Structures are given as structure tokens and as C-alpha cells.
Structure 1
Amino acid sequence: MLFKNQSIKLKLILIIQFVSLLSLLIGFTYVIYSNISYYKDDMRNNAIINATLIGDYCTVPLVFDIKENAVETLKKIQNIPSVEVGVVYNDKNEIFAEFYKSGEKIDIPKPKGNSTWNKFENDYLDVSHPIFFDKELAGTIYLKVSTQKLTERIQEHLLTMIGLLLFLIILNYIIATRLQKVLSEPILNLTKATKKISEEGNYQLRVQKQGNDEIGVLVDEYNEMLNQIHEREEALKLRTNELSEALIDLEETQEKLINSEKLAALGQLISGVAHEINTPLGAINSSIGSIKKSLIFVLESYPKFINKLPIELKNSFLNLLEESFKNKKVLTSREEREFKKEITITLEKHKIENAYTLADSFVDMMVLDNVEDYLELLKRDDAEQIIDVAYKITGLQRSTFNVEFAASKASKVVYALKNLSRIGSNEELVLANVCDGIDNVLILYSNQIKQGIEVSKKYEELPQILCYSDELNQVWTNILHNAIYAMDLNGKLTIKAYKEKEHIVVAITDSGKGIPKEEMDKIFNPFYTTKPIGEGTGLGLDISKRIVEKHKGRIEVESIPGKTTFKVYIPIKQEK
């Protein structure tokens, strides 16, 4: 909470400092660790080299059992600064010769095997190295090396790195105080900048605020509304481009892959998908037209209107706008009729002329309660004009809400269409939820479903599975397509998804005419179809079976007149 209340300058400095300090700590930790490892490796290599040289000098004394020469060789260890102990063992692991720089004997480990080994322990490095003569083990040399100089070297390195870190932190603070201006100054200047709205409809510009009266408050709210309109317009352009590209891609795919089973299913979906896309596009175009008209009216006529309105009625008018802006629920046709009737009765009770027309405007503006609060406005001779002005201003919000709703609906259709059109493009196993794929297919068939099919979905909470998700989408498309048209677009479609032992089971049931018993054994045969020529290739179920078997699963079918069920079993665990 304390951080949130700080100035943006201080926030930027703290963020830069934190990120830089974290990076420096990580980097310095790595460098220190690497250098310490290097120092240890250097000491270890030197010790092994010394052991090798001493062992070479002791080879002849070991072979000919001349202990005096081996002892003389070990005495030279005192010239090597860090070596404290040197012991030569014969091939029977017995001490042959030994040297202790301090003069006192200490316990030392016996050789282990015939290979070189070393270990840091208790401020010492222990090194054991075998001695060979004519490829035969002649003995072993053991050295105990003090790590005091290594410790001093590491401490000196740590002090240097700490000093460098402190210097870099101070330098980073100085740089951060300079860099924060790049971001903070434009933001501070931006808070003071205001501009007028041009007749060209540039929603990035803003109305200049002249004061803190009611118009000033409205300008603040209006500027915020313009910001939302601009964002939604940009989003709308992006959605429109995506829709156009998706339609173009769909048409090109249809021409190139007309003989494939995927295109056979998509071809029958085109009209429905086009309807699902064109409907929100029409709503968007209509709403944009309303927004432009309302903006022109607000910019040109509203200041004059509000100035002419008596002071005692301004608050009532602004309250009417506020009540409309905060009410965003959607009414059914029946609810609209009931509210119109109720408001009309209320207005007629107070002898308001054109009560039904005014009630219609109140319902459109979503001002449904406390209509009596606006009786002073409604009793004026120019009441219809006042309500018309309020209707046009609040129409901006209604239109932007319609644009947002239509764009969202079209986006879902495009998303589902893109997922389906990628069938066969993904040859890798990916984590996916089978229910999401089914829902995407249902979205594309929504135009056919709403003609008379009741859909019932019962999904258990299922884990994501490794699968070829695009290919599974083709399975759902083939089965759902057959089910929808088996019912002649009129019946009940039930979809269940649940876990059964080590499988996810998807059961799709339709209330169609069913599959004759004599045809049950043929439905998975390639090119077998009961559809008229030109409406099916007979490959749909064959392809579906192959895809399911590719997932190590199976398809089961049960059919009686009025009820046909396809069950798809997919193992939860798949091998990559």
C-alpha cells in the first residue's frame, strides 16, 4: 500500500534498482561460485602434478626396496609451501616412506584401489596417486595439502566482489534517477494535455474542459466514453480484418480441398457460419452509424441545449442520464412490454401527454424505476425534446455495448472456425481439453442446431490429455455432423464426457431414425455412405476410427430407432 502511494518517479527508481540489484546478485553469485571452483580446481591440479612427480622419483626405490632414497625424495616436500604430509605406500598398502612437515605423525587414510582420488576436508586437500612400473602397480603416493592460501585467496576475491557490487549499486542509482525521467516526464505532461474533438470523428482527441460545473462533469464522463469508443473501434477493426481473412481462407480451402472429408463437412457449414458472422457485422455497422449521429448531435447541439435548460432542472436532467448510464441489463420482449405498460400508467396518472411514447423512450434508456422523479421535466411543453436529447446521448452507450457484444460473438465463431480449419496441420502431441474441442464444433453448427435441436451437455471435470487435438476435432465434427442430419435438424442431442478407469469417454447420442442392424458392420468401411451423391464421401467414420485408434482408443456404437450413441474412448495417458 505504501508503494502504491509513492510518486511515479520514486516507483520507477525503486523498480529499476530492484531489477538491477537482482540481476547483479545473480551474476555476482555465479562469478564468485565459478572463481571459487576454479581456485579449487587449480589447487587440486597442482597437488596431483606434485604427487605425480614425487611418485615418479619414488618408483625406483619402491621397485628395488631402497627406503632411504624414497625418504630423501619426500624430504624435498618441505620446499613445497602448502604440502604438510607425504606418505609412500608399497604395492601391499604398507607405509614405505613418510614425511611430516610438523614432525608429528597424524592419522592418514590408506589408499583406495589403484586410481587417483582427492578430497577437500577439514582445511586440507587429500590426494592419492598410484605409482606404476612397467604397467604394474608399484605403490601409492599420498599428499596432505593445506588450504590456508586457498581460503585467503577466496576471502580476497569476496572482498573485491563486494566492493565492486557496492560501486555498481551506487552507479545504478545515479543512472536510474536519470532514466526515470524518460518515462515520468511524458506521463506527467500527458495529464495536463487536452484537445478539442474535430468533425472528422477522431476519437483519440479529447474535449477541453472549461470548468467544474455540470458540463465539466459531463465532459469528464464523455472523455472517458470517447476513450472506450476508440478502444472498441480499434478492436472492431481487428475483429473485422480477422473475419474477412477467415472467410477468404475458408473459400480458398473449399476450392483446393473439395474432395477431402474435412472440406465436405466444412462445405455444409459455410452458410451457417456466414450467417453467424454476418449477423454481428450488421449489428456493428448499425451501431457505428448511431454512434456517429449521436456524436455530431452532442458536439453541435448539447452545449446550447444545456445552457438553455433552467438551473433547477439541470440536476434532474443529469440524474436521468446517470440512471441510464449505470443500467446495463438486457430485457426480454415480455419484460419490455410490462415495463412500458407500468410506466405509461404512471405517467397517465400524472396527466402527462404522449405517455406511451415517453414510456417507450424510458424503457429504451433503461430508466425503469422512480419515473416520478422526472415529472418536472415531463410536464414542460418541450418534454419530448428533452427526453429525445437524453435518448440520443445515452444512445452512445447502448451502441457501444451492442458493438462489444456483437464483436465478442463474432470472435467466438472465428476462434472455433480457425481451430477446425487446422485439422491435420499438427503432427505433435499437445495437452488439450476434449470438451473445448466439442464446444468449438457446436459453435460452428449453431445455425443448424437452433433450427430445432435441443442440446444437452453433461461434462465431468476432466484432466487435459496428450493428444493430436486437431485430429480429435475432426472426430467430433464427423460424429456431430452425422447426428445433426440424422435428426433432420429436429430432435435432441445429448453429449456426455466422463472418466471411466484409465479412459476419457465422450458419448454423443441423437434421437434420429437410427442405423439398421444390417448396416452396423459397414459404417466404418471407407466410401460407405447412405447420403445422396454429392453430400458425403463415406470417409468420415473411417477417418474418425483411424484417428481414435492412433490415440490407442476405440469407438463403440449402439443404435435403435430414436436413439443412436457413439462412444469414443481415449486413454488419459499417451506415450510421446
Structure 2
Amino acid sequence: MRIYNNYERLPVSIKLLSPILIVFLTLWTAGTLAFGYYAKNSLERTMRQETKDLAILFQQDLQQKQRLLSLKTRWISQENSVIQAVAADDRTLLLRTMLPIQSSLELDLIRIVDTNNQSLISSHQRSLDKVKFEDATIASISQTGIEVSDILLAENSAPPTLASFISIKSSEKILGTLITAVAIDDALLRQIRGLTSMILIAYRGDQVTASTLSLDSSQLWKFPPPNTPPSRIEIAGKTYMSKVVELPSLDRETLKIAVLKSAEETEKAQQQLWLIVGCFGLLGGLLFAGVIIAGFHVTHRLSHRIHNLTQATKQLAHGNLTTLIPVDTEDEIGELAEEFNKMAKQLDARDRQLNQQMQQLSNTLKELNHTQDKLIQQEKMAALGQLIAGIAHEINNPLGAIQASANNTDKALKEFLHQLPHLHQNLSGEEENNLFELIDQALSSKSSIASQETRALKRRIAAKLREHDITNSRYIADLLADMGVPETPELWLPILKTEQGEWAIEFAYNLASSCLNNQIILRAVERCSKTIFALKSYARFQPSGKKQLVQVVNGLETVLEIYHNQLKRNINLVRDYGYIPEIWGYDDELIQVWTNLVHNAIQAMESGGTLTIATRKQENGIQVSIQDTGTGIPAEVQSKIFDAFFTTKSAGEGSGLGLHICQKIINKHQGKITVDSKPGYTLFCIELPTGSP
């Protein structure tokens, strides 16, 4: 009752403010404590996450060392001196060869066994000096003949190892198996730890085999189960956060690595945190209590005007830039209202100006895209103009072959039709069969006889005909050689000995010539069709903003077909096409990229060379590389080659836009183009994402 009476005597302002102050202080205290507990738990989670990250870092480092060991083992197995020593079964030479290699590569163990699993040499050092492995495990891995790299546990008290197995092969057979190993001992764990804060302990069962701490290896230690979240553990009176990593081995046992992080720093940080939280809570409570009491007198007068300003601000935030606040005072709130009105007017003016500039930028972008499309087509047509003579040559050659073959076919058919009525009169049934077998042999063997062998073939056939007293042997030999008959089979020699022998050979020659000329015409037509199709595909240009599925290899082949005449002169073309999927992009623009790069490569190899085009699939896209053995790009200008209008060619030979356009197109596909060049070597590498419609 007394407290109630005292409360009734308090001023109204205190009555209104005291509940707010009490609630505020209560919430502040609760919030401060909640923040403290949250921060404490956050520190704990951070320590657990750091321990987990250290475990991942350890696994990655161990895997890297395992890959390095595998590379060292593969290098040793491919050394000629090692292969020769193993092939010769010379253990002295083998030991003399391997010891320097073991020392230079820092290998703790190196062993070579033959195909019968008999040890040729075995060299141990450091902590693996007395190591002993299970022979059955070594034998089973060696017999597989495949490259293996994993953890191998010793039978005795020697530390576990990172081991690598690989076959030593000659050009003819497998000679034996090379085994290398690095001990997972204290030194290796310290090397892996480096400058990090992690502590590493390797153990089998409850027995510690290696550690970066000074531990009694004979004592049994209990660690958390593997593959569980990090947890606290106490070792030698100190608390650590522990994460156990389980590593399988080649002999089906497991090696466990405990990754530890000291909890001392975290515990100190938690203590300091609580001290800071307590001081902050007390100081903040007193400060805000004073501010609330002092601000009680002005709150009521300002609240209404601030409310008006708040409402106007909300309208401005929702896009109503014409909102203005009445200015009825000259104090700070009045000045704020006046400045708010100025800001609203400026925002309205800038909004109109921004919309106008955005429209101008949109129009400029459309013009730039149109100009780029025109530049791409102009570059393509310019390249096509330079190639037109070669393309005409590519078409004229097959047309000439067609014309010559057609004339030869016409002449041969006339002779054949003239001789056909006399076939049954001049030859018996068996002789006819032999004659047509000769024609079949000529048609099947013509393409396999090289032109440089024709003269020698004629001499061999003529000599054989003279052995059988065949008259006019040279003329008949010429016909048979032109037909592509490699020898003179006994099957049809009786025909040649008859009076109609020469007539029969001429008959066969005319019929075979007609068929062969027809094959030449078909190949020439196919060549013309291929060239014209490539020309149509190359000349097509359909600029549009819509992507389509692109088969990059088809575009490359179109460009190579267009440049076929230049490439066949003195350039060796190597196609190294790996599997690549279709990508979403702009086919015509990518063809312009291949055109510019192939054109530059050909110009760089005026005296001949090798042009290599390779494709590879990547994780999220593809890679296309175009490599030449030309003059190369000077190092001092390599950073400028993608600049517009920059060219290293003489005046009138280049526009300086080719590589600039290439980079623009690749950037449009969200890809990347890089160059690596030196004298006698230039490589352009283009990476393109698979993309989406």
C-alpha cells in the first residue's frame, strides 16, 4: 500500500516514462545476455568449423602429396636407364641407378620386383629403415599390372606409408613393378601442418604411430569416432577440438588421423566476451536511461512533425516525387522539411534526365549492335574476296577432271560398243569368264597402285609376257598397267596366246576405263558439292538476338573447307577433335571468329608449317584451340592485339579489327579468348560456356 501511495504522488511524466524505462532495461539486459550466449556459441561453432576446415585442408594436402608421389613413380618407371637395368636383370646397375634417384626425389622406400614377385632391389631410409609389408598384398597389387597409389600399412611397428605401384615396361613387355613409398611419420605430419594451427596425430587402433605433439606412443589414447562432427578432447591436461579422418589402405585396414585445434584461445575469447558484454550492458543501460529521461520533454512536440516527415518520405520512396512538406517553422525540423522539398525537386528532375539518358543509351546500343553485325559481315566478305581465286581453283580442278573423264568415257564406250558384238565370236565361255575376272581385278586394284610405280609395273608385265612369247608385249603391258593389274595371272594367259588376245585386252581396257572414269567423275562432283556447300554456309549471315544450338566442329570444318586451297600448298593440317557438346550461341558470329584466327595463322606461315585445331570438353563448356608454327607475335605487342584498329601488318593489308571483333564475339558468348605466342609458335585458346537459350 505504501508503494502504491508513493507511486500516486509521482509526476505524470514519470508515470508514463517509468514503465517504458523498465521494459527497455529489461529487454536490453535480456538482449545483452542473449547476444553473449549467441556470441559464445558462435565462437564454439567457429572453432568446430575451423577444425573441420583444417581436416579438409589436411586431406587435400595428403592427396596432393599422394599425386606427387604417383608422378615421381611414373617418371622413374619411364626412365630409359631404369628400364634397361631391369631388362638386363643387373641388380648392381639397378641399385647404382636408383639410389641417386631415391635421394633426389626424397623417397623413403624404393623397391623393384620382377614379374615373379621376386625383389630385384629394395632400398629403405629414415623411419622406413626396418619396415616390413605383407608379401601377399605386394604380390596381389603387382600382378594387376595397373598403376595404384594409396596408403600401405606395415606389419611391424614401422609407420604407415604413402605408397605407389606402377609397372615398368619395355617396348615389348612388362618387366616388373616399381614400388615407392613415403613414411607418414612425425616429419611428414609437421611438413603438412606447416604454419597452420592444426595438430596432427596418426594412429592405428588405440596406438599412436606419428604425431606433431610429444606423446607417449606406448600409451593408449581414446579419440572420437571417425566421420563424426568435431568434438572436444583432453590430452595432457589441455583441451582440444578434434576431428578424426579415416583413410583406407591397400591392405583393407584403415589409418586414422586426428586433426586437433587448441581450445585455449577460444576459451580466453569467451571469457573476454562475457566481460565486455557485462560492461556494455551496464553502460548501455545507464546511457539509454539518461537519454530517455532527458528526451521525455521534447518527444511529444517532435513526434507529430516527425510523423509528417516520415509519411512524406514513404511517399517519396514509393515513387511519388512530387510530394512536398509544408514549412511552418524555422527550427531544425523546418530546415529538414525545406531540404526535403529541395531533394524531392532534384530527384524529380534527375529522374526525368535519367529516363532521357536511358533512352539515348538504348538507341546507341542498338546502333552499336547493328554496326558490329555490319563489321562482321564486311570482314567475312573481305576474307571471301581474298579466297575467291583459290575457291575457283578448287572448283575448276574437279570440273577439269569431269571433262577429261567424260571424254575418255565417251571414247572408251564407243570402242566397247564396237567390240561387244564380236565378244562371243572371238572367245569361248571360259575365256569370257577369265576376261571379266580380269576386268573385276582392274576395278578393285586401280586405286591402290601409286603413279610412281606405273613404269616399273609395265616393265615387269612386259618381261613376263615375253617369257610366254606373247607378241606386242609392250603395248599389252601398257594397257594392263593402265588398268591397274599388278601382275599377269596364269588364269588369263591362254587368252593372250590366242589370235584374239590383243583384242580381248583392248575390250577389257575400254570397259574398265569407262567404269574408272565414272568413279573419277563421282569423286569430282562430290568435291565440288562439298566446296559449294561450305561456301554457302560461310557466306550466310543472319544477325539476330536469338541464340541457337551450335555445332562448333561443323563451323570449323566450313572455314577449313574455304581455306582448303591455301592449306594444301605447304601447310600440314592437324585435326585434334575431342568430343564436345552443342552449345547455345550465334553460329555465324563464331564462324567469323574461326575465319579470322585461321586466316591469321595461314598468313603467319608463308613458308609453310603446321596448323593444329583442337577441341576439348570442359566442366561447364568447351575449349577450342588454334595453334600455328608461324612467325609468332612479338611479346611487346601481345597486350594490344585485341585493341580496335591495332595491326602488325603493312598498310593496306589489315584493318586492325579482326581480333577485336573476335574478342567482342567471345565476350558476347560470356567466354574467354587468350593468346600464347613466341617465335615459331602461336596458340589462341577460346573457352565458351554451354550456355542457355
TM-score calculated relative to the size of structure 1: 0.52
Given the alignment of the two structures, is residue 575 of structure 1 paired with residue 692 of structure 2, yes or no?
yes
Higher relative contact order (Cα pairs below 8 Å, separated by 6+ residues): 1
- Quote the Cα distance in structure 1 between the aligned partners of 2:607 and 2:568: 9
Show CA shifts across 1:84-111 (max 9, x none): xxxxxxxxxxxxxxxxxxxxxxxxxxxx
Residue 286 of structure 1 is matched in structure 2 by 404
Correspondences of 1:417-496 after superposition (within 5 Å) = 417-425=535-543, 428-496=546-614
Shift of 1:398: 0.6
Given the alignment of the two structures, is residue 354 of structure 1 paired with residue 465 of structure 2, yes or no?
no
- Quote the Cα distance in structure 2 between the aligned partners of 1:359 and 1:426: 64
- Quote the Cα distance in structure 2 between the aligned partners of 1:443 and 1:350: 52
Shift of 1:370: 5.0
Given the alignment of the two structures, is residue 267 of structure 1 paired with residue 356 of structure 2, yes or no?
no
Residue 432 of structure 2 is matched in structure 1 by 314
Given the alignment of the two structures, is residue 540 of structure 1 paired with residue 661 of structure 2, yes or no?
no
Check 1:565–1:349 CA distance in 2 against 1; reply closer, same or farther (3 A cut).
Answer: same
- Given the alignment, which residue of 522, 529, 540 partners 1:411? 529
Shift of 1:426: 5.8
Range with bigger deviation, 288-297 or 559-568 = 288-297
Show CA shifts across 1:130-178 (max 9, x none): xxxxxxxxxxxxxxxxxxxxxxxxxxxxxxxxxxxxxxxxxxxxxxxxx
User: How many residue pairs end up in the alignment?
Assistant: 320
Residue 368 of structure 1 is matched in structure 2 by 486
Residue 277 of structure 1 is matched in structure 2 by 395
Shift of 1:401: 0.5
- Quote the Cα distance in structure 1 between the aligned partners of 2:593 and 2:376: 19
Show CA shifts across 1:207-242 (max 9, x none): xxxxxxxxxxxxxxxxxxxxxxxxxxxxxxxxxxxx
- Given the alignment, which residue of 609, 612, 615 partners 1:497? 615
Computing the radius of gyration over CA atoms, which structure comes out larger, 1 or 2?
Answer: 2
Shift of 1:505: 0.9
Q: Which amino acid is the alignment partner of residue 419 of structure 1?
A: S
Shift of 1:450: 1.9
Shift of 1:575: 2.5
- Quote the Cα distance in structure 1 between the aligned partners of 2:416 and 2:545: 56
Q: Which amino acid is the alignment partner of residue 473 of structure 1?
A: I
- Quote the Cα distance in structure 1 between the aligned partners of 2:603 and 2:439: 50
Q: CA RMSD in A?
A: 2.5
Check 1:426–1:368 CA distance in 2 against 1; reply closer, same or farther (3 A cut).
Answer: farther
Check 1:300–1:379 CA distance in 2 against 1; reply closer, same or farther (3 A cut).
Answer: closer
Shift of 1:360: 2.5
Check 1:318–1:259 CA distance in 2 against 1; reply closer, same or farther (3 A cut).
Answer: closer
Corresponding residue SS for 1:564: strand
Show CA shifts across 1:511-566 (max 9, x none): 11111222222211222222233332221111111111111101101111111111
Contact 2:677–2:683 under 8 Å retained in 1: yes
Q: Which amino acid is the alignment partner of residue 473 of structure 2?
A: A
- Quote the Cα distance in structure 2 between the aligned partners of 1:425 and 1:304: 66
Correspondences of 1:65-464 after superposition (within 5 Å) = 260-309=378-427, 313-327=431-445, 329-369=447-487, 371-425=489-543, 428-464=546-582
Shift of 1:261: 1.1
Check 1:329–1:426 CA distance in 2 against 1; reply closer, same or farther (3 A cut).
Answer: farther
Residue 559 of structure 1 is matched in structure 2 by 677
Corresponding residue SS for 1:462: coil
- Quote the Cα distance in structure 2 between the aligned partners of 1:412 and 1:534: 32
Shift of 1:358: 1.9
Check 1:334–1:459 CA distance in 2 against 1; reply closer, same or farther (3 A cut).
Answer: same
Check 1:259–1:496 CA distance in 2 against 1; reply closer, same or farther (3 A cut).
Answer: closer
Contact 1:264–1:537 under 8 Å retained in 2: no
Show CA shifts across 1:279-328 (max 9, x none): 01111111112222233333344213543445664343333334334546
Contact 1:553–1:569 under 8 Å retained in 2: yes
Q: Identify unmatched segments of 5+ residues in structure 2.
A: 1-373
Check 1:289–1:425 CA distance in 2 against 1; reply closer, same or farther (3 A cut).
Answer: farther
Shift of 1:389: 2.0
Check 1:266–1:353 CA distance in 2 against 1; reply closer, same or farther (3 A cut).
Answer: same
Check 1:304–1:353 CA distance in 2 against 1; reply closer, same or farther (3 A cut).
Answer: closer
Range with bigger deviation, 397-406 or 381-390 = 381-390
Corresponding residue SS for 2:640: coil
Contact 1:448–1:489 under 8 Å retained in 2: no
Percent identical among aligned pairs is 41
- Quote the Cα distance in structure 2 between the aligned partners of 1:347 and 1:260: 65
Contact 2:626–2:685 under 8 Å retained in 1: yes
Residue 94 of structure 1 is matched in structure 2 by none
- Quote the Cα distance in structure 2 between the aligned partners of 1:329 and 1:561: 42
Q: Identify unmatched segments of 5+ residues in structure 1.
A: 1-255
Check 1:334–1:295 CA distance in 2 against 1; reply closer, same or farther (3 A cut).
Answer: closer
Contact 2:376–2:589 under 8 Å retained in 1: no
Corresponding residue SS for 1:386: helix
Shift of 1:489: 4.6
Check 1:380–1:270 CA distance in 2 against 1; reply closer, same or farther (3 A cut).
Answer: same
Shift of 1:381: 4.4
Given the alignment of the two structures, is residue 516 of structure 1 paired with residue 634 of structure 2, yes or no?
yes
- Quote the Cα distance in structure 2 between the aligned partners of 1:445 and 1:350: 53
Contact 1:257–1:263 under 8 Å retained in 2: no
- Quote the Cα distance in structure 1 between the aligned partners of 2:658 and 2:538: 15
- Quote the Cα distance in structure 1 between the aligned partners of 2:451 and 2:426: 37
Check 1:285–1:257 CA distance in 2 against 1; reply closer, same or farther (3 A cut).
Answer: farther
Corresponding residue SS for 2:610: strand
Residue 105 of structure 1 is matched in structure 2 by none
Show CA shifts across 1:34-59 (max 9, x none): xxxxxxxxxxxxxxxxxxxxxxxxxx
TM-score calculated relative to the size of structure 2: 0.43
Shift of 1:412: 1.5
Corresponding residue SS for 2:686: strand
- Quote the Cα distance in structure 1 between the aligned partners of 2:666 and 2:631: 25
- Quote the Cα distance in structure 2 between the aligned partners of 1:492 and 1:325: 36
- Quote the Cα distance in structure 1 between the aligned partners of 2:680 and 2:375: 34
Check 1:499–1:313 CA distance in 2 against 1; reply closer, same or farther (3 A cut).
Answer: closer
Shift of 1:380: 3.3
- Quote the Cα distance in structure 2 between the aligned partners of 1:283 and 1:432: 36
Check 1:290–1:482 CA distance in 2 against 1; reply closer, same or farther (3 A cut).
Answer: same
Corresponding residue SS for 1:566: strand
Check 1:510–1:323 CA distance in 2 against 1; reply closer, same or farther (3 A cut).
Answer: closer
Shift of 1:479: 0.3
Corresponding residue SS for 2:579: coil
Contact 1:343–1:371 under 8 Å retained in 2: no
